[in-house]
Amino acid sequence: MGSDSVLVTGGAGFIGHYLTSALLSQGRRVVVLDDFSSGLPLPSHPLLTVISGDIADSSVREKALNQVTSVINLAAIASVPLCENKPKLSSRINYFAAQDLFTEASKLGVSAIIQASTSALYGVPNQLPLIEESSIQPIGNYGLDKQRAEDSLLSIRNTPVCSLRLFNVFGVGQKRDSPYSGVLTIFSDGIRNEKPLRIFGDGTQSRDFVHVKDVVSAFIGCLEELEKNGLNSIISGNKFNVCSGKSMTLLEIVEAFSQFSNNEIDIVFESPREGDILHSLGSFDSLNKAIGWTPSQNFTANLQELLL
Ligand code: NAD
Ligand code: UD1
């Protein structure tokens, strides 16, 4: 395969679909490694190879790595409750398999490795907005295993690497059938189907919602930067927040949705979720300074799209 080929693990997932399609539209070859445990089939494309298998299986990783020159690792148990219920599975996929992938890719001399990390690393924030130097105190297995994976990637010195800490990602295409989908997906689904929205707590909790297309532009921007400047790149060995830099409360979200919907929106207030963080807000200054990345400013239009 040519020198422009990228491995996207977890490429059949929510973010993976957008990232794979964007890379293909740039004319790049893409190898997707996915076990389809939560991912969905990808449309066929002459530049796309799909390997169906478990990232924890060394022979599957070998097959995938032998075909590529760069790696983006999205494969994960992305459900926080599943990681809590199955701690061994969480560690096997989110930490050990990721670590093995990074080590093997580095040994093969790839041009870039990028990890999908998470704002869950920060736990309960002790300052807002969160910056990359804010204290790391993950709550639960998901955050802990993601932290270990990030640490292991950033300890690699002989390969251009970076880790992107994604905040609350939203957009069309996120799975609607899970009670643990993102709140914007659950709310838009409820509004479309005229079901009451359940707010856990009083609705004053806030989140930094970043659109999936902005997340994709961050991955591609970092990939191109690492491939171009290698170990001399300003981003090599670093971690970056990928966020909108703005936060909205759930009550503000419901208000914004109500402007686009003819349906009456019913709200049911329930007890707060155990372990719920009250406020989350990130700063994207570091990534902006490094590669000029900025999130799009059309939150309202992106929200409206969820209702179509
Ligand atoms: P997703 O569940 O839609 O995608 C994950 C993909 O990984 C799925 O296609 C799944 O089938 C695949 N996968 C799971 N286990 C696998 C295994 N053992 N072998 C091979 N493939 C496997 O989740 P997403 O929202 O697209 O998230 C992508 C990445 O971004 C994940 O690493 C997640 O932790 C991270 N992230 C997401 C968010 C968010 O808000 N969506 C926030 C922070 C970080
Ligand atoms: C999100 C991520 C999680 C990550 C965490 C920290 C998702 C799905 N989860 O969790 O992986 O660890 O950020 O980075 O993106 N809510 C309701 N009603 C609902 C659903 C949710 O009130 O029907 C509330 C929740 O209690 C929470 C807020 O909405 O207060 C956001 O919830 P959610 O979208 O699940 O995201 P996080 O909990 O922030």
Q: Which ligand is nearest to the CA of 13?
A: 1
State which of 224, 242, 260 marks the end of a domain. 242
Ligand 2 pocket mutation, candidates 90, 94, 183, 251, criterion most atoms within 8 A of CB: 183
CATH number of the domain at 271, please.
3.90.25.10
Q: Are residues 51 and 89 part of one domain? A: yes
Ligand number nearest to the C-alpha of 183: 2
What does the alpha-carbon distance between residue 151 and residue 213 come to, in Å, rounded to a whole number?
26
In a shared domain, residues 252 and 141:
no
**3-class SS at 153?**
helix
- The CB of 38 under 6 Å from ligand 1? The reply is yes
Ligand 1 pocket residue status of 74, Cβ below 6 Å: yes
Rounded to the nearest angstrom, the distance between the alpha carbon of 182 and the centre of ligand 2 is: 6
What's the burial of 271, exposed, middle or buried (CB within 10 Å: 0-12/13-18/19+)?
exposed
Closest ligand 1 atom, residue 166 Cα: 43
Task: Look at ligand 1, atom 6, and give the residue with the nearest C-alpha.
Answer: 10
Pair (29, 156) in one structural domain: yes
Whether residue 157 is contained in a domain is answered as yes
Domain count, the chain: 2
Torsion sign, CA atoms 61, 145, 176, 24: negative
User: What local confidence, expressed as pLDDT, does residue 76 receive?
Assistant: 98
Shared domain check, 198 and 145:
no
Spatial separation of the C-alpha atoms in residues 286 and 100, rounded to whole Å: 28
Ligand 2 pocket: which of 168, 174, 178, 191 to mutate (most atoms within 8 A of CB): 168
Residue 55 sits in the same domain as residue 180: no
Cα radius of gyration rounded to whole Å, the chain:
19
How far does residue 111's CA lie from ligand 2's centre (Å)? 34
pLDDT at 2: 52
pLDDT tens figures, 250-265: 999 999 999 988 888 9
What was the pLDDT predicted at 205? Answer: 97
Distance 96 CA to ligand 2 centre (A): 25
Residue nearest to ligand 2 atom 1, measured at CA: 168
Can you tell me which residue has the tokens 């924890």? 56
In 35-160, DSSP assigns E strands to 48-52, 70-73, 112-118
DSSP string over 257-275:
HHTT-SS---EEEEPPPTT
Residue 288 lies inside a defined structural domain of this protein: no
- Do 26 and 121 lie in a common domain? yes
Cβ of residue 72 lying under 6 Å from some atom of ligand 1: no
pLDDT for 191 equals 94
From the CA of 79, give the closest atom in ligand 1.
2
Closest ligand relative to 20 C-alpha:
1
Quote the domain boundaries for residue 256.
172-207+245-282+298-306
CA of 265 to the centre of ligand 2 (A): 20
Q: CB–CB of 154/136 below 8 Å?
A: no
Same domain assignment for residues 80 and 196:
no
- Which residues of the chain, if any, have pLDDT below 70? 1-3, 179
Residues with CB under 6 A from ligand 2: 80, 118-120, 142, 168, 180-183, 186, 198-200, 205, 207, 250, 273, 276
- Are residues 177 and 95 part of one domain? no
Same domain, 72 and 139: yes
* Any domain includes 231: yes
What pLDDT is attached to residue 176? 81
In terms of domains, do 48 and 176 share one? no
252 shares a domain with 176: yes
- Whether residues 27 and 120 share a domain: the answer is yes
With respect to residue 41, please indicate whether it lies within any of the assigned structural domains. yes
Q: How much is the pLDDT for 3?
A: 62
